[in-house]
Chains A and B, each alone.
Chain A
Amino acid sequence: MNDAQINQTTAESLSAAQNPKVREKRPIDILRERHGGMSPEMKEYYKEQTRIKQLLKEALARGAKTVPELARECGLEPSVTMWNLMAMRRYGKVVEEELRGEYYAYRLKEVK
Chain B
Amino acid sequence: MDEFKKRYDGLVIGGGIAGMQAALDLAEQDYEVLLIEKDPSIGGVMIGLNKVFPTLDCSSCICTPRMAESVHHKNIKIQAYSEVTSIRRHDPGFKVTVRKKPRYVIEDKCIGCSQCELECPVDVPHEFDHGLGARRAIYIPHGNAIPQVATLDVDHCTFCGRCAKVCPTQCVDYTQEAEDVEVDVGAVIVTTGLNITPMDAKKEYGGGHLINVMNPLAMEAIQASNGPFGRPLRPSDGKVPRTIAYVQCAGSRDHTIGIPYCSRVCCMYALKQALLLRHYLHDVEITLYHMDIRAFGKGYEQFYRRVMNEGVNIVKGKVAKITEVENQDLLLRVERLDEGGRLEERRYDLVVLSQGLVPAWQGKGVLDIELGDDGFFKSISPKISPVLTSAEGIFVAGVAAGPKDIPDAIVEAGAAAMEAAIHLEGIGYREQVLTASQS
Contacts and interface: CB of A to CB of B under 8 A. Distances in A.
A79 B158 contact: no
Nearest to B229: A86
A68 B328 CA distance: 12
A71 interface: yes
Contacts of A96: 230
Contacts of B174: 27-28, 30-31
A84 B118 CA distance: 16
Contact of B133 (A26, A78, A87, A103): A87
A10 B240 CA distance: 61
B238 A90 contact: no
Interface residues of A, number: 35
Contact of A28 (B122, B155, B161, B239): B161
Contacts of A104: 231, 233, 238, 240
Query: Chain A contact residues: over half helix, strand or loop, or mixed?
Result: helix
A82 B235 contact: yes
B158 A46 contact: yes
Contact of A90 (B160, B228, B328): B228
Interface string A39-81: 1001000100110000000000000001110010000001101
B123 A49 contact: yes
B238 A67 contact: yes
Given A27-B164, A46-B158, A68-B237, A89 B230 contact: yes
Query: Chain B contact residues: over half helix, strand or loop, or mixed?
Result: loop
A89 B233 CA distance: 14
A87 B235 CA distance: 13
Contacts of A31: 104, 154, 157, 159, 174-175
B240 A99 contact: yes
Contacts of B228: 86, 90
Interface in B102-127: 104, 118, 121-123, 125
Contact of A79 (B160, B164, B231, B237): B237
A91 B237 contact: no
Contacts, number: 92
Interface string B170-189: 00011100000000000000
A32 B118 CA distance: 21
A26 B159 CA distance: 11
Contacts of B276: none
Nearest to B125: A83
Contacts of B173: 27
Interface in B303-329: 328
26 contacts: A27-B173, A27-B174, A28-B160, A31-B157, A38-B157, A38-B158, A46-B121, A49-B123, A66-B238, A67-B239, A71-B237, A78-B237, A78-B238, A79-B328, A82-B236, A83-B235, A86-B133, A87-B133, A89-B230, A90-B133, A91-B134, A91-B136, A99-B240, A102-B240, A102-B242, A104-B240
Interface of A: 26-28, 30-32, 35, 37-39, 42, 46, 49-50, 66-68, 71, 78-79, 81-87, 89-91, 96, 99, 102-104
Given A28-B159, A91-B123, 9 more contacts: A27-B174, A39-B155, A67-B238, A79-B235, A83-B134, A86-B229, A90-B228, A103-B238, A104-B231
